[in-house]
Structure 1
Amino acid sequence: MDKKVTIRDVAAKAGVSISSVHFALNGQSGVSEETRSRIRRVAQEMGYQPNPLASNLKRRTQRIAILLPSDEGEGQYYYQTMWFGVRDYIAKANVKLDPVELPFSDHNKIERFQQMAALAETGELHGILTVGHIDEAETEAGWRAVMAKDIPVVSIGSDLMRCHCLCCIQPEYDVIGRTMAQLITDHIPPFGSILLCAGNPKWAAHTLVVRGFEDYMRENGCENLVYRDNSWLISQKNYEKIFEKLSRPDIAAACCVYSQGTVMLGQALEESRKASRIYAVGSDLPETTADRIRRGVINIAIQKNPYAQGYVGIRYLVEYLSSGKIPEEDRIYVGSEVVLKSNLMMYENEHYRYLLQ
């Protein structure tokens, strides 16, 4: 039996984005007439047929798999508010939805992914919201099944490597890294060393911030010595590594690109009695970090706005399923904020929910 040609196949053959194929085949603006003609020709040559169920999606209950890291354990420091954003949008959406929540942690990530893939195989799954770092070698076959069913996927945080996405929702990591570097180098002398808690070297959400940090330092001739730490899980061993580096006499500032590391960094600053003597810039705003900003342990946090990432991610997916609305770009950037003691009140008592629009 011949494999069904999907919209992703047409996009790949024509050398354009999935959004461009939608624009071209639905008579919408957004592509040139030359590109529209080429896409239509490729679709015809490949024998592409629109999904006959698509026109019924607006009237039927849409089942969406939400495959995000758990909001418990270490996930509470970042993903808890992302889940809030997803659930808040679903609660107000004027669409019939059947959300299937599949929160995962390191020990059950593949099991959760396989549950999602099994739903896709049934033909009763209409959309998927997930994160870029779900990708593993073990997920490749599952993603092939998803693409074969032409199920739209929205990724949060970073792109998926093994599956084409409708769009990716993420912060502007390069800008975050550059902002961190400027904040620090503006506050310490050129001979002061910096501890950079750089996170997981395999995650784009961490490495791109680090790259932005290093690019700013190089481009601006900053000669500060930087000690890098690549711990990314909360553990006694990783805490001790951060504490040891922080205890060096030449450290004048510390910076962390991820939320869990900021929690460990704050603890190390307090237990080493270097709080207020070392200029500290952290990431994100769980209550633990907010409290340390209030007390002057951490000077500034860059809030990557996980609430908005979750809210915007599910919104784009639902709008596509219910009305065929195509994201304006393949990559949608969510703004980040610099949080200090002076503006911390804007983020207290879940006020971040009102900063979305």
Structure 2
Amino acid sequence: MDMIVSDAILASISRTIATAADGLDALAACLEDEVALRSSFVDAVELVASRSGRVVVAGIGKSGHIGRKIAATLASTGTSAYFVHPTEASHGDLGMITAQDLVILLSWSGETVELGNMLTYAKRFNVPVISVTSNPDSIIARNSTVAIVLPKVPEACPHGLAPTTSAMLQLAVGDALAMALLERRGFSAQDFKTFHPGGKLGSQLLLAHELAHSGEAVPLLPIGSPMSEAVIQMSSKGFGVVGVVGSDGDLVGVITDGDLRRHMSENLLLLTVETVMSHAPRVITCGMLASAAMEMMQSQKITVLFLIDDLRRPSGILHVHDLLRAGVA
């Protein structure tokens, strides 16, 4: 490719990214300096949190595409939401909106004609409206319960026409509302897992006990057992380790291949497990994320972890191969 053409392409890409970054910086600065904008964000979060119904998101054109993403983000983080196309709403889908719901309207100009029927319907049936616009004097902003007014930033388009920076700011607002609601509700990683059971994200949200072996599969011996039994357990159970439990059933030690090598002698099999075991074994709790268990294994260069309950009693065993098979990495 011609060097001049390549330079022009890269210059265009750089301008677009810089313009988008400037737009986000402008939004952050307004949020820092303008009391009205801060209040509108707080009011919007509180309003959504107070409703018993769902959040209905609507927009036309590029705002519609952003609206679909905002609805999806809200739904996946604990706030029931869905997108309604304004044109379809005018042809019957207004019936999807109930008095318990809340409507979020996206319109950079605040004068989008296609949103008019949804706004009228919401006003008629007392459905709260949150608008995201750059024009505080627009019809939509003036008729909203809460109007989030964004700074008027230049588009990355050289003609100032294609929605680029403006769409990014709308998306940022949607993400900000979703995250604020997530934190306000105390939405946990376990809650997140409920809505994301599939794919790479689902595997990262698996809990350690869901992948662990339990019952008779766990290699355990009581204190006082001979090492001959430990070697049998290590070989037959296939984990290369054996856990040692005390009189109360708590895990007091672990014997690994390394412990065998360190104590290798002709009398090894005559020793008792407590003379060979490593004290203070590395363990995890049942509620730990599988991804956290993987990180622990990698950082400490180990391949097996025992799971314990609140009383330090072993309830399972997890091998790195179990994590890899489940796609946790």
TM range (shorter): 0.3 to 0.5
If asked which structure has higher relative contact order (CA below 8 Å, sep 6+), I would say 1
TM norm structure 2:
0.33
Larger radius of gyration: 2
